[in-house]
Structure 1
């Protein structure tokens, strides 16, 4: 005597919804691949954030027609040397002076600096263009 099958069993068999070892293996591989991809994405995001540098211009003084003194703050990874490009601009936002400064490694996360930028004409502003870990 055969055991009666339920309607759900008959529908699963008819439409191929039965669970086979191969299907379980395939689903397991798909899940494992998804976990590995998510882990790699998380690691790349964290690794990029470890070398993140931010800089803020806190003030400037036009010393004379040939120089600007720039005050700025840099937030960088502890123990890493940082380089920054400083700019002086005229009233039309043309660059009239620039300087690359290398800031030594420190045990402090955020530091403040003052640098004088030589100019070719009178500047109206000074700013930090970019900073990066060297």
Structure 2
């Protein structure tokens, strides 16, 4: 087998000099990449600090079935400083049918701590013997 050697000056004259590619991004590419990263960071910050549209999840603290016409339910509801929080509290029977229902309101107040739940004890009238009592859902109004 014959070894072929290429004479670089003749090769460059005939085919042109081969260019070594640059490593890294150009200045324009770096500016575009930085702008894209900044835009994503701004979108994430706006999303993270947007006002809540729903109250923090309420908690059922305890319930007690008194008799076939009454159930007592204790719930923890997170108040808001600027909006009233309305919640549905209900009692259900063994078949999960609603046998007692009421709405409660935690009024807005400047001194409310939205990170600490306010306990509400509710006497709920029922149409038959309940198996449980709980807070179902809450919303701002």
TM-score, normalization by structure 2: 0.69
Secondary structure of the structure 2 residue equivalent to 1:15: coil
Structure 1 match to 2:125: 118
Q: Aligned partners of 1:18, 1:133: CA distance in 2, in Å?
A: 52
Choose from 21, 33, 39 the match for 2:36. 33
The alpha-carbon distance between structure 1 residues 18 and 63, as it changes in their structure 2 partners (threshold 3 A), is closer
Distance change in 2, residues 1:77/1:114 (3 Å):
same
Deviation for aligned residue 1:128:
0.8
How far apart in 2 are the matches of 1:76 and 1:51? 11
> What's the Cα RMSD here?
2.7
| Aligned twin of 1:129 | 136
Normalising by structure 1, we get a TM-score of 0.72
Q: Which runs of 5+ in 2 are unaligned?
A: 1-16
In the alignment, the residues of structure 1 paired with residue 91 and residue 104 of structure 2 have an alpha-carbon distance, to the nearest angstrom, of: 14
The 1-side partners of 2:35 and 2:79 are apart by: 36
**Aligned partners of 1:57, 1:18: CA distance in 2, in Å?**
58
- The number of residues matched between the two structures is 121
2:75 is equivalent to residue 81 of structure 1: no
| Displacement of 1:18 | 7.4
